[in-house]
Structure 1
Amino acid sequence: MPFSPAVVVDGLSYHLPDGTVILDAVSATFPAARTGLIGDNGSGKTTLLRLIGGRLRPTDGSVRVSGRVYTVPQRLTVAGTVADLLGIAGTVAGLRAIEAGSVAQQHFDAVGDDWDVEARAAAELTRIGLPDDPGFLGRGAATLSGGEATRIALAGACLALADVTLLDEPTNNLDARTRAWLYDELERWDGALIVVSHDRELLERVDGLVDLTRRGAVSFGGPFSAYEAYRAELREAAERGLRAAEAELDRARRQAQTELQRQAQRDRSARRELARGNVSKGAADFYQNRAEKGAGSKTVAHQQAVLDAQAARTEADDRARQPDTIRIPLPMTTVPAGKEVLRLRVGETRLDVVGPERIRLVGDNGSGKSTLLALVLGLDGDEPWRRAVLDGVSLDLAPAVAVGMLAQNLDGLDRFPSAIEAVRDAAPSRTPHDARALLARFLIRGDRADQPPSTMSGGERFRVGLARTLFADPAPQLLILDEPTNNLDLASVEQLVGALEDYRGALLVVTHDGHLASRLRVERQWEATRQAGPLKVADRLIG
């Protein structure tokens, strides 16, 4: 069914004060439906949400919104209370002041028409399985789990009764259970919803997509799998167009060369005839002048044909160009089959890693996954909460191979003056030339390798971190990935999969992304649970 437009952006541009272009002449329509906003890291998705939400002013162009906008940010604040997360703290404070006898206009303005906001909040909290008592609204947001905070923030969006709701990467850091709740919640969503996400399962549940590409915004009606199939058809057509454009360019060049050769032959014939005296000087000058004009016209026409064919070939090449991939040999990571890598005991459960196994670690937020990784990595376990989680957990055999870890947070890269130095810090034996060549294979090319990682896009920082991890000295034969796809665009996820295609060591990946686990060919799954007692882990094979 057709949807009326809820948001229209027309020729929208946004430049930073230093002149950096974030968005350039973007035009798109977002209907009163669920729309996924996708694009590579750095393409301007979050900036576009802020422009739609009125938090930024465009450098050029316009944004037209039908009704009120409510934004759920990517990073939820934990400095306030549950009421702050719900977006009703000001209203509740106004109610309290009025109940205490205040007649100040500011308090009545804060309440507006929302005299029943607490009752509606209680009903909404009950619906999502959280306490509905009034005291819960004053609970500190920092005491909530990530899943609870996300559910409450979404409940706030429902309470706001907004016409347009904006969500920025809502599934980041959510466990599988909370993700499933979010998917169901979005299925029932009323009104216009614009959601920035790289979560494939979420993108299967939208009504349409807007893709921010280097050629502008591309709109598509349907879920991500259909859009992927559509893009594959476009790529095939573009490749056919490229082959045709190359053939036309070759034909135009040959025709231009043939015409030049013919003209040279005609000039030689005319000179011979003149030398023999068969043509008078006046006639020769007349014919030569006419021939030169004709030849000049033909030459210009053929040169223009070549230029047109070159331009068509360049455009066809741009349309057919595939995203860059990373494929690198990693022979030093090889772990022989049968080699004991790790021996871990959780209660009565043995978790042995033998040979180049690939294992996925899953569990609800707060179940102890990160703590378990800390134990494997030999990190400090003195904190009381960590000791409680690790009660009954022991390393019967510490990692018998070199261990590498790619963490969620890459802030450690910011201390390096350049990407080259970041790689050399992990592998001191490598020369600057070696590091530059290595980074080029991770698509950090030319002058970008000399840039500080702090100035790079999220995708570039990820690739620098990946290069640093895989080419550490010694090379990691047990590789740990902790939620590696958080904040990564779809292209970077594919680059991660490609880079690990030739990894020959043991792999332990913490992820709630089933698609990634499948692409990495995970063979076993450790399922962590922790309720009232110590950490428990179930071990099962994945068929």
Structure 2
Amino acid sequence: MPTSPSRSASPSALATLDKVAARTPAGVTLFHNLSLTFGPERTGVVGRNGAGKSTLLRLISGDLSPAEGVVTRVGTIGVLDQRGEPAPDETVARTLGVGEALAVIERVLAGEGEAEDLATADWTLELRIAEILAEVGLADIAMDRATISLSGGEQTRLGLAGLLLARPDLILLDEPTNHLDVEARRLIAEVLDRWDGGAVVVSHDRDLLRSMDRIVEVSGLGVTVYGGNYDLFAERKATERAAAERDLAGAERTAARVGADAQRRAEMKARRDAAGRRKGAKGDMPKILIGARAERAENSGAGDRQLAARQAAEAEAALASARERVERTRALSIPMPSSGLASGRTLLVLDDATWEAPQGRSVVGPVSLRLTGPERVAITGPNGAGKTTLLRLIHGALEPTTGRVERPSRAVLLDQEAAILKPDETVVEAWRRLNPEGSINDAQAALARFLFRNVAAHREVGELSGGERLRAALACVMTGTKPPQLLILDEPTNHLDLDSVAAVEVALRAYDGALIVVSHDADFLDAIGIERTIAL
């Protein structure tokens, strides 16, 4: 097993990016002139969806060449492959990368090995495989089992086991805890904590990011490195946000003062010019003196105009810079209309409710639950415990096999894919489908409140990021004539970046209806004010 890592203040570089630029296939620059090193420390990479986090990993691994600059690698690099569904014939041994090595051992033990097999057989391999599989929570799994038969979380653990077996110098992990339950998340964090090589981890899992040695933030304005873990990063970002807001307020005051000064000087000059014209009209001043005064006034006016223009340009540049900093640090806001829920209203009753699969296998229950008023309930449990099935039972997509479910109030179920929306419809079309009594003007006004203004409201749902889809879904269900009094959320933060997670937390904290939430994110559950928990 890997030993506890020793951290160096100036670790030797395993990957170095020198003046690197990266662009999307459409030619949009993600970052440029980036110089950054990665050594035997743990680096967490954060940023908004689409900012270039996964692109950064692909540059480090060599899977992508930079548009400009050079990437240098020392030692070996391993990538946790999140490819999606494996091939039907792929086995656990093949996913681990030990299929051929185990075949060599089998041939030798069967007396069918050749001289080359005898020379290459690794007699420690089976023991190392057993130790590492136990370390990732997959003890006793058969090597010939089809990888596709494993759950998504088990496949992630298996991929991590393959990295541990290969022992690269630097490992790259892209959202390794997505779709994992609390126990599996803890296991990933423990494995990383024991890892004695370098690790670069793209994640929005705040608990995992707390174990990092530094945080790299990727944004539209470049890449910034913060020493320390996520909590120190969040504290620094809050300080930067407050400073940016103060600087913007100061720049606005300066711009207003410069404008007022220029106006005052222009008015004073106008009064002086008018007085001079009146004096000249009396005819008691020599023409040569009148001309000299006019020339002085013109020169003075030109100087005043130049000074005013320079001051205005400087103030406008400072104001634009301050606004840019605020835009970079400002959190997304999601407004939540009132649901009008009375504190004593019963929203849901489950009385010994169960649900069985068609084959008769018990999936969930018996569960008893009464939800009254704006309560906030979390449903927890390991993957496969029936959490999503229970949510569908609560919502009405399923009816109980035994027991009773009463749903006296309208509820809306939002899953991590925001499946209430259709990929090929625009956001406006989705709003009107879900709110048929509303007009096109109602739709545009409602969506604008959720930052889908003008052309943004006519984007297709399939083009939206995870955070945008959830925001669009909330806009569609919360801004109709009758907002739901119960929101049912199934892993709502799984595909969200940290900024979007923070915005959803603020919105749900302000929501005055009831919540039933499935989430493995303890920080999220705490932030939205969960009052009780049902553990499956």
Match of 1:369 in 2: 387
Moved more, 204-213 or 74-83: 74-83
Measured in 2, the distance between the counterparts of 1:246 and 1:272 equals 39
- In angstroms, what is the RMSD of aligned CA positions? 3.1
Give the secondary-structure state (helix, strand or coil) at the position aligned to 1:413.
coil
Match of 1:521 in 2: 529
Give the secondary-structure state (helix, strand or coil) at the position aligned to 2:143.
helix
User: 410, 413, 426: which is aligned to 2:421?
Assistant: 413
Match of 1:82 in 2: 92
**TM-score, with structure 2 as normaliser:** 0.86
Match of 2:358 in 1: none
Moved more, 164-173 or 77-86: 77-86
Structure 1 residue 154 corresponds to structure 2 residue 192: no
Measured in 2, the distance between the counterparts of 1:458 and 1:201 equals 20
Moved more, 264-273 or 49-58: 264-273
User: 173, 186, 190: which is aligned to 1:180?
Assistant: 186
Q: 1:423 to 1:156 in 2, by over 3 A?
A: same
Structure 1 residue 476 corresponds to structure 2 residue 484: yes
Q: Summarize deviations over 1:296-330 as a string: whole Å, max 9, x none.
A: 13321221111101111221233234223112222
User: 507, 512, 524: which is aligned to 2:520?
Assistant: 512
Measured in 2, the distance between the counterparts of 1:415 and 1:77 equals 21
User: 346, 357, 375: which is aligned to 1:357?
Assistant: 375
Structure 1 position 229, deviation (Å)? 1.4
Q: Summarize deviations over 1:419-471 as a string: whole Å, max 9, x none.
A: 00111111111112111111112222221101111122222122112223434
Q: Summarize deviations over 1:14-50 as a string: whole Å, max 9, x none.
A: 3333334444554444342111100111211112212
Match of 2:244 in 1: 238
Structure 1 position 269, deviation (Å)? 4.3
Measured in 2, the distance between the counterparts of 1:113 and 1:312 equals 68
Q: 1:404 to 1:29 in 2, by over 3 A?
A: same
Q: 1:61 to 1:456 in 2, by over 3 A?
A: farther
Give the secondary-structure state (helix, strand or coil) at the position aligned to 2:148.
helix
Measured in 2, the distance between the counterparts of 1:228 and 1:249 equals 31
Q: Does the CA contact (< 8 Å) of 1:416 and 1:422 recur in 2?
A: no
Match of 1:64 in 2: 72
Match of 2:435 in 1: 427
Q: Does the CA contact (< 8 Å) of 1:8 and 1:28 recur in 2?
A: yes
Measured in 2, the distance between the counterparts of 1:412 and 1:379 equals 12
Measured in 2, the distance between the counterparts of 1:15 and 1:71 equals 22
The letter for the 2-side match of 1:369 is K
Structure 1 residue 140 corresponds to structure 2 residue 146: yes
The letter for the 2-side match of 1:453 is V
Q: 1:329 to 1:375 in 2, by over 3 A?
A: closer
Q: Does the CA contact (< 8 Å) of 1:416 and 1:453 recur in 2?
A: yes
Structure 1 position 294, deviation (Å)? 4.0
User: 170, 178, 191: which is aligned to 2:176?
Assistant: 170
Which sections of structure 1, spanning at least 5 residues, go unmatched? 382-389, 529-543
Give the secondary-structure state (helix, strand or coil) at the position aligned to 2:79.
strand
Measured in 1, the distance between the counterparts of 2:469 and 2:367 equals 38
Q: Percent identity?
A: 36
Give the secondary-structure state (helix, strand or coil) at the position aligned to 2:421.
helix
The letter for the 2-side match of 1:146 is G
Measured in 1, the distance between the counterparts of 2:122 and 2:292 equals 94
Q: Summarize deviations over 1:117-163 as a string: whole Å, max 9, x none.
A: 55533332243343458xx2221112223333222211211222212
The letter for the 2-side match of 1:211 is E
Measured in 2, the distance between the counterparts of 1:14 and 1:44 equals 8
Q: 1:297 to 1:112 in 2, by over 3 A?
A: farther
Structure 1 residue 54 corresponds to structure 2 residue 62: yes
**TM-score, with structure 1 as normaliser:** 0.85
Measured in 2, the distance between the counterparts of 1:289 and 1:93 equals 99
Structure 1 position 480, deviation (Å)? 1.2
Match of 2:215 in 1: 209
Match of 2:471 in 1: 463
The letter for the 2-side match of 1:520 is I
Measured in 2, the distance between the counterparts of 1:307 and 1:276 equals 41
